[in-house]
Structure 1
């Protein structure tokens, strides 16, 4: 007798085989779930949004900016102060977003501190490897991001170590160069999709700073002491500079 071609889950000479049927049903359920998830993502992506970004501690950043903000960089990495914190609105409550920051050169110059002011000292050194810092809570829904009092990137550290192994936690900078932090909103449901989606970028000019290995401007040192609870250990060295204990 000629045997008919087999169909998964179906016995050509009798009723459905139970193991094969269960497998077929499981496959169909998986496909249906994937289709529903894909449809929901499409629906969310079709829903409009109008993101707005606010800089937290704006007045403090402006005070530093008026005096020429400096950020110390070290081999092991140093956190920024003031910290990079934002608040967002206008997101789609149901859609998912990733929040990203990076720090880019402000110009192509190298600087020096002379006669109590910063001035251009020459052409910038070659740019160091570019890194993006993805907020560890990414992705999250628009509603979750908007309900936060702030989105903080305080764990990101600044280093001058080109061999730094902390790929996702440290920004590598050149000393005596000016930089501009940037904030990016990426609408996507997984961090693996970040680089294939549209980035909406916000820059706050008052956040620009010069990277240093030791503070040059005494006014900046004093502002750090006055506002940063972790900088109370500074003491006078007797040379017009201060160093940390």
Structure 2
């Protein structure tokens, strides 16, 4: 039972937490927690000097952004471009490497762009992981189809967009491929499986990798609202994502 003013974490196994901490502590009310419901959270930023071990997340915290290899001021990149606020906020978090999950993709089915037929992914599918190109992963389930057109914002960018979902029985009308992660292996490796989805469905997330295939940031849709983006003109999801993609392709 979740009591008022208590903090709840729900797990399937050691690397799964529906409220996996990304620098923010969420205060819950007694409302029933479901993966698709909407809550009014009171967000409290962690004090990075606190002891943050054993809070249910594998994502490493450090006490100083300088320890992450980034300047603590984090105002501009090496190219002189402004570093997006979301990148700064997540600078202290452990970053995943796209190459580490390449083997997980091999053997999975995917639906190519503008196609309805499934094709098997193999090690020759190099266009999925081209060197020196940024990659945007969108992990979703059947309740998030409305977001698919959202990623048509980047057709002219030097970026590879890949949709990932456990099941997709429709014609792929998008300009990017959709990978079928039927057992939730990719979601598990990225530590965003939804324990209320049977360990298969991912927490709907957007993960951006730069040209060196290192994670820049991730957004858990529905959970990171008002943490990394909101409904304002300058800080809505679209503007934050476009700013992040522009930064990724310029590094």
| TM-score of the alignment, normalized to the shorter chain, above 0.5 | no
- Greater share of residues in strand: 1
TM-score under structure 2 length normalisation: 0.21
- Greater share of residues in helix: 1
